[in-house]
A = this chain, B = another copy of it.
């Protein structure tokens, strides 16, 4: 009987221990992998000047922003990690080294209607490489390598594909056709959602002629092995400069990693992408949609500064991915606690408890998470260890203090082993290493 409503608000999540542990494991892998590639951590405020965030937001996004006034200040909560990055780089450009490789992992906020799969508070895990003036295309080649390593590690049993395209090809093609690039892009980007018919209708409604619509649909339907797609694009014999550059860039990137697949329908609606665009999908669960997207932009911080800073980046929407893995029963949880060894002093005597602390500290010194029970009744303490899935339990009673060994109970098998007090550390390290295999 709760006195106050203790449920979280709609669109906000909190996890139980085993799921939180699984979530944190994924988050940790992402963080560690970003650092393995030399990305620098950045942590900007959740609350920003409303004017600074709104300068970059438009349309739908603006409506979703959590805004409020306190005192004389107009606050807004960040709705992504890219806009704060742009503001940060504009503010600190003189103190940073370029190319600036940064990662950011944090919660962002969007007051969307919380329908299925839409969260109002969710984690984004972003990397971006930004340079002054020019940024090498090798940066675009590096990004999928990082994605590849991350998803190999966090989803070892799921096959995935990184789809790649280049906005220069799309822009050049639409330029050649004489249609409005931005609106056409936005419509074609809905292919997954509304299908070929939906697109035809919307294009027609926006005044595009039928023959042109057919050309667009033919183009979007160019499929096959990367080399074949590139060949077909080249055979279109379009001289438009953007189009030609785009093909060259796309070919170079698509050949760099076997997991990359050219998909000419990928556009990433946001209007700031200007070159490579990426989307990542699970081969057997296309309905989940893209789990990691991004691309190349010519000028990130235009709103905030006059310095030209091109960049390339991607974002993993971890909260949404986690939710989807749960939905499709793809989430594996292991333990409800970090504890690997649980020590039960079965008497609250100073000697017994302090001996438990001594052993625990020896194990912690070699980074084995160890917990000393605050329950001294053996059956109750064992029940607790069992519920939390802790596998190794050491029992220390008054009797044991006088003996030369302790009893180690394996909770999975129920077997008990004697471990020599003098060599307790070595023995436990060995046992844990064996059971990890």
Contacts and interface: CB of A to CB of B under 8 A. Distances in A.
A374 interface: yes
Interface string A252-276: 0000100000000000000000000
Nearest to A136: B374
B99 A3 contact: no
Which size bracket describes the interface of A in this complex? 35 or more
Contacts of A55: 3-4
Interface stretch (A10-18, A229-237, A290-298): A10-18
Contacts of A17: 40-42, 96, 102
A179 interface: no
Contacts of A129: 374
A374 to B, nearest CB: 4
B91 A7 contact: yes
Given A47-B109, A357-B145, A303 B4 contact: yes
Contacts of A338: 35-36, 38-41
Contact of A24 (B41, B51, B368, B375): B41
Interface stretch (A64-72, A208-216, A411-419): A64-72
A131 interface: yes
B75 A9 contact: yes
Given A9-B45, A15-B43, A43-B14, A371 B91 contact: no
Contacts of A99: 374-375, 384
Interface in A62-93: 66-68, 70-71, 73, 75, 87-88, 90-92
A364 B150 CA distance: 12
A227 to B, nearest CB: 15
A95 B16 contact: yes
Given A43-B20, A107-B46, A36 B364 contact: yes
Nearest to A335: B40
A55 B369 CA distance: 36
A102 B371 CA distance: 12
A88 to B, nearest CB: 6
Interface in A337-383: 337-339, 342, 348, 353-354, 357, 361, 364, 367-372, 374-376
A41 B14 contact: no
A116 interface: no
A323 interface: no
Interface string A302-346: 011110000000000000000000000000000011110010000
Contacts of A121: 45-47
A288 interface: no
Contacts of A14: 42-45, 88
A192 to B, nearest CB: 29
A201 interface: no
A347 B49 CA distance: 44
Given A2-B305, A364-B149, A369-B36, A374 B45 contact: no
A392 interface: no
Contacts of A135: 374
A387 B97 contact: yes
A205 interface: no
Contact of A8 (B12, B45, B67, B361): B45
A9 B375 contact: no
B8 A48 contact: yes
Contacts of A357: 142, 145
A201 B43 CA distance: 45
10 closest Cβ pairs, A-B complex: A38-B371, A68-B68, A38-B339, A6-B91, A35-B338, A12-B45, A136-B374, A97-B387, A36-B364, A17-B40
